């Protein structure tokens, strides 16, 4: 038996320690890998040396290096040694945590880690699960999109049950046609996928929709939008939802990590009015993908929606312990609590807070550099670790700038558009980013901008 080399651990450590030497954005074209690899799997077993050679020569040059200090695209997708170690152990154990009986420690560690994390964010007690009969609790979902869909489906079940009581003669297919849900116009595309886009004037929209015979049942508030890290007013939205008995889901995919620092918790004001809250430790909290932390006020709403009860999944402690299969869409689930627990323990609260504050400080530094150059502007205020900036003038200038920056591969960023205004999103992603990296990146941007401006205006 060819036992895989322990050198993989060294390979991973070397990769991460030397990440700044790599070009962050690859210079490959679609189909490049098809030309380099065989069309079929090998018949005979291959040696690790040969497999690694292909990783080095063919795979690595075709990757975006997300852990690079020059990665500024999207939002962070950070990893860390405790998280990698948690995932390595979890992969080796490969326990499936769908019921308590299928993995007692896997299930209980998830509840404990989610209670720790909920307290770390300052979430109210109604979202924690510290006693066996607590209705609330936390669960790790795969993605924020999935958490949104889970909350939407749970809210729909709740609304249909209430409607069915009032209208016993109607079929659920008829009742479904009356349901309507809302989110702000800067919500993430995953929310559009999960439901319908609603108006910003929530209460007006709800009242007018009710007058048309519709039943508002679910509202998604966003804390930290994808384009500009803008925040919905949770308290205002929560009060409207309470008045109209609509389920309030809070999507804080990126910004949620910042709530480990008390100075950012003002955006959480009103969270006690929410029915569910989710954010991605897999973004900024250094717990590698996948890991979406989701809390619900009343897990029975999830049970009613996702309950599966075949005899082979029942166990003698059914009902006495959490069976997370009832809290999610798939049946099977990985032991993801391990990497979250390792990160919380190995960094500690102070280490995690320090990491978040450093990300914000570096974004402030970048913002100051941009503001000091009259050729550039920042149309929307910076929040947390993301600065959305542009060259003054036509969108075409900024579009050219971004295209050229990415083609050079030294830094990587993606655009956003606010009401027709094209911007480059510059997110501080890596825990390896230093003051010097920010200065170097800004020099790269200035150099390319000068070339473009000279080319256009002479």
CB of 187 to ligand PLP, least distance (A): 7
- Check residue 111 for interaction with ligand PLP (CB under 6 A): no
- Check residue 352 for interaction with ligand PLP (CB under 6 A): no
Residues 185-224, interacting with ligand PLP (CB under 6 A): 188, 190, 222
Using an 8 Å Cβ cutoff, are 385 and 363 in contact?
yes
The span from the CA of 241 to the CA of 219, in Å, is: 7
Among 254, 284, 341, 376, binds ligand PLP (CB under 6 A): 254
- Check residue 226 for interaction with ligand PLP (CB under 6 A): yes
Q: Given the complex with ligand PLP, which of 150 and 352 has the nearer CB atom?
A: 150
Which region among 142-150, 174-182, 232-240, 338-346 touches ligand PLP (by CB under 6 A)? 142-150
The span from the CA of 183 to the CA of 202, in Å, is: 8
Which region among 2-10, 64-72, 246-254, 307-315 touches ligand PLP (by CB under 6 A)? 246-254
> Within the chain, what is the greatest distance between any pair of CA atoms?
79
Residues 276-335, interacting with ligand PLP (CB under 6 A): 280, 292
- Provide the 3-class DSSP secondary structure of residue 278: strand
Q: Given the complex with ligand PLP, which of 330 and 351 has the nearer CB atom?
A: 330
Using an 8 Å Cβ cutoff, are 182 and 198 in contact?
yes
- Provide the 3-class DSSP secondary structure of residue 64: coil
Q: How far is CA 129 from CA 110, 114, 146, 322, in A?
A: 11, 9, 21, 10
CB of 429 to ligand PLP, least distance (A): 12
Q: Which region holds residue 137: left if phi is over 0, alpha if psi is between -120 and 50, else beta?
A: left
> Binding mask 33-72 vs ligand PLP (x if CB under 6 A, - otherwise)?
----------------------------------------
CB of 142 to ligand PLP, least distance (A): 8
Q: Which two tokens stand for residue 140?
A: 């790790």
CA 340 distance to own-chain centroid: 14
Burial class (CB in 10 A: 0-12, 13-18, 19+), 316: exposed
In 275-329 the beta strands, taken as DSSP E runs, fall at 276-279, 292-296
Which region among 107-115, 138-146, 336-344, 433-441 touches ligand PLP (by CB under 6 A)? 138-146
CB of 370 to ligand PLP, least distance (A): 22
- Check residue 251 for interaction with ligand PLP (CB under 6 A): yes
Residues 65-84, interacting with ligand PLP (CB under 6 A): 75
Q: Which region holds residue 39: left if phi is over 0, alpha if psi is between -120 and 50, else beta?
A: alpha
Q: Which two tokens stand for residue 198?
A: 């609603």
- Check residue 249 for interaction with ligand PLP (CB under 6 A): no
CB of 448 to ligand PLP, least distance (A): 26
Among 143, 233, 431, 447, binds ligand PLP (CB under 6 A): 143
> Of 270, 207, 259, 282, which Cα lies nearest the Cα of 233?
270
- Check residue 253 for interaction with ligand PLP (CB under 6 A): yes
Q: Given the complex with ligand PLP, which of 188 and 382 has the nearer CB atom?
A: 188
Among 84, 97, 144, 250, binds ligand PLP (CB under 6 A): 144
Using an 8 Å Cβ cutoff, are 405 and 411 in contact?
yes
What is the per-residue burial (b if ≥16 Cβ within 10 Å, else e) of 422-450? bbbbbbbbbbbbeeebbebbbeebeebbe
CB of 278 to ligand PLP, least distance (A): 8
CB of 188 to ligand PLP, least distance (A): 3
Which region among 7-15, 140-148, 198-206, 353-361 touches ligand PLP (by CB under 6 A)? 140-148
CB of 54 to ligand PLP, least distance (A): 29
Which region among 1-9, 51-59, 247-255, 295-303 touches ligand PLP (by CB under 6 A)? 247-255
Q: Given the complex with ligand PLP, which of 75 and 341 has the nearer CB atom?
A: 75
123, HSE (Cβ side, Cα atoms, 13 Å): 32
CA 50 distance to own-chain centroid: 36
Q: Which two tokens stand for residue 130?
A: 């510290």
Number of residues counted as binding ligand PLP (CB under 6 A): 14
Question: Pairing mode, if any, of strands 215-222 and 179-183?
Answer: parallel
CB of 413 to ligand PLP, least distance (A): 14
CB of 179 to ligand PLP, least distance (A): 22
Among 67, 90, 129, 145, binds ligand PLP (CB under 6 A): 145
Neighbour tally for 148: CB within 10 Å: 28
| Cβ-based neighbours of 275, under 8 Å, separated by 6 or more | 151, 155, 247, 248, 249, 296, 297, 298, 301
CB of 40 to ligand PLP, least distance (A): 33
CB of 237 to ligand PLP, least distance (A): 15
Using an 8 Å Cβ cutoff, are 314 and 323 in contact?
no
Binding site for ligand PLP (CB under 6 A): 75, 143-145, 188, 190, 222, 225-226, 251, 253-254, 280, 292
């Amino acid at each position: 038996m060819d036992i895989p080399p322990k050198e993989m651990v060294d390979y991973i450590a070397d990769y991460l320690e030397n990440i700044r030497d790599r070009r962050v954005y690859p210079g490959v074209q679609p189909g490049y890998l098809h030309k380099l690899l065989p069309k079929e799997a090998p018949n005979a077993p291959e040696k690790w040396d040969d497999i690694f050679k292909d990783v080095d020569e063919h795979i690595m040059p075709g990757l975006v290096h997300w852990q690079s200090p020059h990665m500024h695209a999207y939002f962070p997708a950070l990893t860390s040694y405790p998280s990698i170690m948690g995932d390595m152990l979890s992969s080796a154990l490969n326990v499936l945590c769908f019921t308590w009986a299928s993995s007692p420690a896997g299930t209980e560690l998830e509840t404990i880690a989610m209670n720790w994390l909920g307290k770390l964010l300052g979430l109210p007690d109604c979202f924690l699960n510290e006693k066996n009969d607590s209705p609330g609790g936390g669960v790790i979902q795969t993605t924020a999109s999935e958490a949104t869909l889970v909350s939407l489906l749970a809210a729909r079940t709740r609304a249909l049950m209430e409607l069915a009581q009032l209208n016993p003669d109607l079929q659920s297919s008829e009742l479904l046609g009356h349901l309507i849900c809302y989110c702000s116009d800067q919500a993430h595309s995953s929310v559009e996928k999960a439901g319908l886009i609603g108006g910003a004037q929530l209460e007006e929209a709800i009242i007018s929709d009710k007058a048309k015979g519709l039943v508002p049942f679910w509202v998604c508030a966003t804390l930290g939008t994808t384009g500009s890290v803008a925040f919905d007013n949770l308290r205002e939205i929560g009060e409207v939802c309470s008045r109209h008995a609509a389920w309030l889901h809070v999507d804080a995919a990126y910004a949620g990590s910042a709530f480990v620092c008390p100075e950012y918790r003002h955006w959480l004001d009103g969270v006690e009015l929410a029915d569910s809250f989710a954010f991605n430790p897999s973004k900024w909290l250094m717990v590698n993908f996948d890991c979406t932390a989701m809390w619900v006020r009343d897990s029975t709403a999830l049970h009613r929606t996702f309950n599966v009860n075949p005899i082979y999944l029942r166990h003698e402690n059914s009902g006495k312990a959490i069976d997370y299969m009832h809290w999610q869409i798939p049946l099977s689930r990985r032991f993801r609590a391990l990497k979250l627990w390792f990160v919380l323990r190995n960094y500690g609260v102070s280490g995690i807070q320090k990491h978040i504050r450093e990300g914000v400080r570096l974004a402030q530094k970048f913002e100051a550099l941009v503001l000091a150059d009259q050729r550039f502007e920042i149309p929307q205020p910076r929040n947390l670790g993301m600065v959305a900036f542009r060259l003054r003038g036509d969108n075409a200038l900024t579009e050219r700038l971004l295209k050229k920056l990415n083609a050079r591969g030294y830094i990587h960023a993606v655009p956003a558009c606010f009401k027709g205004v094209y911007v480059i999103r510059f997110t501080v992603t890596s825990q390896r980013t230093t003051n010097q990296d920010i200065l170097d990146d800004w020099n790269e941007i200035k150099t390319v901008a000068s070339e473009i401006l000279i080319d256009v205006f002479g």
